[in-house]
Amino acid sequence: MSREMGRDDFVISARSVFLKKGNRQKFSLLTLIIISIVILSLEYFKSGPINQIRMITKDIIIKSSYVASVPFKSISKTYSTAIDHFNMYDEYEKLKKAEIKKKNLILENNFFKEENQRLKKLIDEKNLYNNEFYITKVLLDQKSPYLRSLLINKGFKHGIKLGAAVRSESYFIGKIVDSNYLTSRILLISDLNSKIPIIIEPGSISAILSGTGNNELGEIEYLPENNNIKEGGIVYTSGSDGVISSGIPIGKILLDNNLIKVDYFADFTQINFVKVYYKK
Amino acid sequence: MSIINKTYSKFLTISPVVILFISTLSNSKYNFTYDENYLSFNISYVIVFFWSLKRPEYFGYGFIFLAGILNDVIQNNPLGISSVEYLLICVLTAFVRRRIILQNLIYDWVFFLISILIVGSINYIILVYIFKIPIVYNGLLLGLFATFLIYPILAKILSWIDNIVQANINDKKN
């Protein structure tokens, strides 16, 4: 008897929770859960009108999210400006030393560039990759243990396609994984799901750079067994995926308790503008 | 009543919804690194849980659904998954509201843990088994635990806001 009562009570509660519209409620919970599940199931349609509606919705939300995040961004910007002011003298000393080295390196680099072009001409090599890029603003940056991405202000209307390489200054930082009409999402190389074919110099060792979810260090996978990698070696994109051009610097090798890691050149926390390579 | 007072009063009435939307639009997950471990607080869970438990009349379920959609776009999740999560929290709080007469922080806190564990499990199942999106189980669990830990602090802040809203409503009645 009491068990029946309990069951009846539960059914009444469930009916009330799911179907009853409370004060100020226009929809019942059941209706909204069903709508959510329908929207979720529409994720399987990756093309056609549903996809277009989804892209427009995403564009609108991303743009309005950018507006909403302006006050928060200005707070963090003020904080980092204050920190920069405190570190100004140390930074100046470092830059003074670096400038002397830089002049020599530029001259050396120019020589190697010309030599490289001459040799490429000799073997008749064609450039497969496009060197045209947009400098675009970062609208939002997403940081969580399983998502390291940036949202930018250019979409497929501007010729940006999935897999396109993205640089911050001269360094490779990630690739396009989602392109809407006016906005796109960059998956950073520090993201857990990021896998980029690389080459390590000196030695021209090919491997895969894998993100760890950590903004400072990446991991190297599929290294040959007898490798001779030393600390300070430079990691470049290898271009073996046929999408990202080769030779874009990513970071340098760091040996941490015999584990080979990559210390990224780019500072992912300070990216405001990026270069996105596109095809016409 | 002056225009400023009217605007202030109107703002207070809609403040729970505004807080929810700001938390989703400005990045609902606040991350901190401790000893190479990420602690990711999901503030939206706390907001939805708190208001739907204490004052469901402030929150339209439609707004919660919309906040979920916004969150999905920003977090690059499959559209609709956060809405399902938030609405499930509402379902659970609605059950609790019907069962419990006297509420206190400890009961709420324990029930919040149960709710986020259920919602987190559903989130994991949908992402990993249906959409085949690899997510780090430890990261998710640690994030839920961190969210559980900050609940009392946020609940106190939200209670304080609730008191202001209530005082404003009472003033209007008088």
pLDDT in tens, A160-186: 888 888 888 888 888 888 888 888 888
Cβ contacts of A144 within 8 Å, gap of 6 or more: B29, B31, B38, B40, B75, B143
Tell me which residues of chain B, numbers 53 to 72, contact chain A at a CB-CB cutoff of 8 Å.
Answer: 56-58, 60-62, 64-65, 68-70
Interface of B with A in 78-117 (CB under 8 A): 78-81, 83-84, 87-88, 90-91, 94-95, 98-99
- Ordered by start, the domain boundaries in chain B are 3-166
Confidence band of B117 (pLDDT split at 50, 70, 90): very high
Best interface-test mutation with B: which of A12, A61, A151 has the largest number of B CBs within 10 A? A61
Go through the domains of chain A in sequence order and give each one's CATH number: 134-277 (2.40.10.340)
Using 50, 70 and 90 to split pLDDT, how confident is the model at A127? low
More confident call, A238 vs A131: A238
Quote the pLDDT of residue A251. 86
Domain B3-166 coded CATH 2.30.30:
no
Rounded to an integer, what distance in angstroms lies between the CA atom of residue B116 and that of residue A77?
33
Q: For chain B, how far is it from start to end, CA to CA, in angstroms?
A: 13
> Can you read off the two tokens belonging to residue A275?
């270069």
Cβ atoms A176, A278 nearer than 8 A: no
pLDDT, one tens digit per residue, over B4-21 is 777 777 777 788 888 888
How many A-B residue pairs are in contact by the CB < 8 A criterion?
137
pLDDT bracket for residue A188 (50, 70, 90): confident
Query: Is A39 close to B143, i.e. CB distance below 8 A?
Result: no
pLDDT of residue B31: 53
The minimum CA-CA distance between B5 and chain A, rounded to whole Å, is 23
Mean model confidence pLDDT for chain B? 81
Q: What is the DSSP letter of B130?
A: I
Give CA–CA dist A186/A201, Å, rounded.
26
Structure tokens at A230: 């030393």
Distance CA A74, CA A280 (A): 35
Bin B92: left if φ > 0, else alpha if -120 < ψ < 50, else beta: alpha
As a whole number of angstroms, the distance between CA A178 and CA B169 comes to: 46
Question: Which residue do the tokens 């894998």 mark?
Answer: A210
CB A265 within 8 A of CB A249: yes
CB atoms within 10 A of CB A276: 24
A135: helix, strand or coil: strand
Model pTM score: 0.71
Q: Are A37 and B84 in contact (CB under 8 A)?
A: yes
Check if the beta carbon of residue A157 is closer than 8 Å to that of residue A181. yes
Confidence tier at B37 by pLDDT (50, 70, 90): low
CB-CB neighbours of A165 under 10 Å: 24
- Answer whether residue B70 shows pLDDT above 70: yes
* Average pLDDT rounded to a whole number, residues B151-164: 87
The answer, yes or no, to whether residue A243 has pLDDT greater than 80, is no
pLDDT at position B113, please? 92
A72-123: pLDDT as tens digits: 778 878 888 888 888 888 888 888 888 878 888 888 888 888 888 888 788 7
Q: Are the beta carbons of B22 and A68 closer than 8 angstroms?
A: yes
Above 80 in pLDDT, residue A197? Answer: yes
| C-beta atoms of A39 and B25 within 8 A | no
Q: Which token pair is A75?
A: 């707070």
pLDDT in tens, B42-61: 888 888 898 888 887 777 88
Residue A7's H or E segment, with its range, is helix A2-19
**What pLDDT, on the 0 to 100 scale, is given for residue A24?**
62
